[in-house]
Every structure is written in structure tokens, then in C-alpha cells.
Amino acid sequence: MMGPQQTFSRALVVIMAILLIIILMPTARVSAAPNYRVPAHYSGEAQKLADPTYGPIPGQSDHYNYYWGIERPFPGNITDPIFPTENGPPAPNDYTWQNLLSAEWVIFEFYQQGVETFTDEDFIKAGLPNNTRRRLMEIRNNEAGHLRIFQNQISPRSIKPGPCKYKFPLDDPIKYLAFMTVLEISSMVFLTGLVQQPELNVHKSAMVAIAATEARHETWALLDIWKENPFGGPTDTMFPYANQILYTTNAIIVPGSCPPENPEYPRPHQRLPFLSAAKDTKSLAPGSVVRLNFTDPNNQPHFHPGIQYYAVFFHGLLNISMPIDTKHWPKKDIAITIPPEFETKGVIVALVANTPGAPTFDTVVAGPAVILNQPVHLGPALL
């Protein structure tokens, strides 16, 4: 027979044992080897990049400024995904930085391939300044710095995605530079939305600093390439749904070309139908009437007969909604008027929503599309 004293000391032993297990558990988890494996089809070279101090450090090394090689700058020359080196749940902002790293690969590859494809003479023959290619190299180097910064912002518990293959307009220097303007200005717009995602203020500030870098690139292009006024109005365009803009870049990714281990891009996404203006569009300037084209035949919008849809245009800090007629689509095209109220500066973001002002991300049913106002003649040329 056990007395109350014995029962108590037995219970104490059990409690102590449980406590000991609880205390030891986290330690055991940290010291265990990570349960990932670098797949055999990778060399393992990229794992060196898991150490943020490996290679040139952005902000310290002029590699990210004045590297004049044609070969890919670090870390763009190491293209395998970087696998986690610690076990555990992802850090709170890992998805956001993974999205940004995947997007940065698009931008870095765009500059790298331009540097590889065009010569100084190609740009000079197109009537552009003789330092055009050198500036593009500098921008490429800055973008390589962004790759490294974003890799380092992702915690060691999450994979750091590698590049895919992309379709860029590389057959003509002017078309190439027009595309550059769209990429730079789109990245400025999407950063205004992305900055709402991080929990840490220091991450928000880092994104503002990156957006300012893209603005400098764009300012150079406006002044030296397009011989335009460099300013974009009192404020650039604010757009809250960053992942919707990121998703549109899937149109330039070669299907099936991404490392299979990459996380979905962007995460999360709504798979909204791509939106563009019809091919015969003459002008996208405020006041123009434009017919819409949902360019992916495999992903067309579904308009319900009882619902009034709107074209919603974002410019500066404002948005303007116009009701659209979807009743006879697709037999009859949907025509919209770009709000004449807007100044002819910067960009306009356009989308189709089921609510005026598209107040939440899930009211958006197609798009967005980025409409370039500066230089205004480039807008329709890009479609």
C-alpha cells in the first residue's frame, strides 16, 4: 500500500521527468542536423551562400558598383537554390523575401542578358549615349547586390530560390530599354505594396531603400536614354496588392523552367487573368479609349451576369473607378477610358474589379496592368 507521501513523491518524479524533457527538447531540436538534403543534381556550391559573410558584401564591396566583366557577377554566377541549414518553422517574413528574391532574379537576368547580347556600338547606332552599356552594367551590379541582400534576409530555415528561364525582348536595343523602363517602374510600384507585408520596421525600411535605388535607375533612363523630364509627379503610384503585380511577371517565365525546389511564386497568389490593351491601341495617355485583352487563352475571366464590374485605375495616391460593360463579352470587346483626370506622369495601374476602388485584394478579378506615362510614346509600343 502506498501512503499519500509516496504517491506525492512519485507524482513529483513524473512531473520532474516531464519538465526535464520539455527543457531538453528545444536544445535537442537546435543541435540536430538539419533534415534537408541538397539533391544530387546540384553541385552543393550554392550552399556556401548560406553564410551571409561569404563573398562580396553589399554596402562594402565595389563589386556591386564597378565590376566591368561580361561574366555574371556574384551571386548571379551561382544559380542553384540555397537549401535550409537549420530546422524549424520559417521566420515571419520569409515568404515576402522569397517572393522578392524570385522577382529580383527576373530583373538581374534582364540586365545580365542585355550586357551579354548588346555591344557598345549597338546602343550608339540606335542613337544612344556611348556609356549606355556601361550604365547597364552598373545597374546589373546593383541588382546583383539586391540578390545577395534578399538571400540574406531569408532565414536559414527557408529555401532561397534560384532563377528560372525568361523571355526578354533582346532583338532590338530600343525595345530592350523600353522594357527596362517598365521593369524599373513596376518594381517601384510593387514595393509600395510589399512594404505593407513585413512585421519588422527594419524590413520595411530596407524595402524603401531598395525602391529608391530603382527610382535612380529609372531617372537615369528618363534623362539619358529618353531625353525626357526626369520627374514623375509629386508622388509615384501606390498600389497595395504587391503579389498581384509579381504574379504578372509569370508571363515572362518560360513554363517549367524554374528549379523544382523553388517555392511557389509569388506566395500566395490568386492566379488572376493577365490584362493588356488590344494590339491596335494607339495611345494609353489619360483620356484614351482602350479595348481590353485578357492575353492568356488558358486563363480568362468569368463575369457573372448580375454583377457590375469596374475598371479601377491607380495613379499617385488616388484611384478612379469606371463601370464597364461585360454583358456581351467575349462577343463584344470591353472598352475603357483611361481617366482624363490623371496627370501624364509616372504610371497608372489598371485592373478589373467587382467593387469600385477594389478595396480588398479579392475584389480584383483581372490584371493588374502597368501603363507607362513616361515616355508616353513607349506605352502602346510595349504591348
319 is an interface residue for ligand NAG by CB under 6 A: yes
Q: How far is the CB of 91 from ligand NAG (least distance, A)?
A: 27
Say how far apart CA 348 and CA 350 lie, in whole Å.
Answer: 6
Given candidates 106, 272, 348, 358, which one binds ligand NAG under the rule CB under 6 A?
A: 358
Q: Which of 364, 341, 336, 335 is nearest to 351 (CA)?
A: 364
Given candidates 87, 113, 213, 293, which one binds ligand NAG under the rule CB under 6 A?
A: 293
- Only one residue has cell 551561382, namely 78
Given candidates 167, 279, 304, 327, which one binds ligand NAG under the rule CB under 6 A?
A: 279
Cβ neighbourhood burial of 1 (10 Å; 0-12, 13-18, 19+) = exposed
Binding residues with ligand NAG: total (CB under 6 A)? 14
Say how far apart CA 310 and CA 318 lie, in whole Å.
Answer: 16
Q: How far is the CB of 54 from ligand NAG (least distance, A)?
A: 10
Residues 6+ apart with CB under 8 A from 285: 338, 344, 373, 376, 379
359 is an interface residue for ligand NAG by CB under 6 A: yes
119 is an interface residue for ligand NAG by CB under 6 A: no
Q: Give the CA distances from residue 226 to residues 25, 220, 230, 285, in Å, rounded to whole numbers and listed in that order.
A: 62, 9, 9, 17
C-alpha cell recorded at residue 221: 533612363
Residue 311 pairs in a beta bridge with 322, 352
Q: How far is the CB of 74 from ligand NAG (least distance, A)?
A: 4
Say how far apart CA 371 and CA 348 lie, in whole Å.
Answer: 5
172 is an interface residue for ligand NAG by CB under 6 A: no
Q: How far is the CB of 95 from ligand NAG (least distance, A)?
A: 21
Say how far apart CA 137 and CA 59 lie, in whole Å.
Answer: 17
SS3 of residue 347 by DSSP: strand
Given candidates 254, 357, 362, 381, which one binds ligand NAG under the rule CB under 6 A?
A: 357
Q: How far is the CB of 320 from ligand NAG (least distance, A)?
A: 8
Q: How far is the CB of 191 from ligand NAG (least distance, A)?
A: 16
Nearer to ligand NAG, 94 or 315 (CB): 315
Nearer to ligand NAG, 103 or 312 (CB): 312
Residue type, 119: T
Q: Which stretch binds ligand NAG (CB under 6 A): 9-17, 29-37, 137-145, 351-359?
A: 351-359
Q: How far is the CB of 16 from ligand NAG (least distance, A)?
A: 53
196 is an interface residue for ligand NAG by CB under 6 A: no
Say how far apart CA 26 and CA 18 lie, in whole Å.
Answer: 14
**Chain centroid offset of residue 24 CA:** 41
H-assigned helices in the chain: 4-31, 94-117, 120-125, 132-153, 173-194, 201-220, 242-248, 378-381
Say how far apart CA 176 and CA 168 lie, in whole Å.
Answer: 8
Q: Which of 151, 150, 21 is nearest to 85 (CA)?
A: 151
61 is an interface residue for ligand NAG by CB under 6 A: no
Nearer to ligand NAG, 211 or 358 (CB): 358
Nearer to ligand NAG, 95 or 314 (CB): 314
Given candidates 21, 39, 45, 257, which one binds ligand NAG under the rule CB under 6 A?
A: 45
Say how far apart CA 203 and CA 224 lie, in whole Å.
Answer: 32
Residue type, 214: E
Given candidates 58, 156, 233, 240, which one binds ligand NAG under the rule CB under 6 A?
A: 240
Residue 71-110 contact track with ligand NAG, rule CB under 6 A, x = bound: ---x--xx--------------------------------
Q: How far is the CB of 378 from ligand NAG (least distance, A)?
A: 18
Nearer to ligand NAG, 91 or 383 (CB): 383
Q: How far is the CB of 295 from ligand NAG (least distance, A)?
A: 4
Q: How far is the CB of 278 from ligand NAG (least distance, A)?
A: 4
126 is an interface residue for ligand NAG by CB under 6 A: no
Contacts to ligand NAG by CB under 6 A: 45, 74, 77-78, 130, 240, 278-279, 293, 295, 319, 357-359
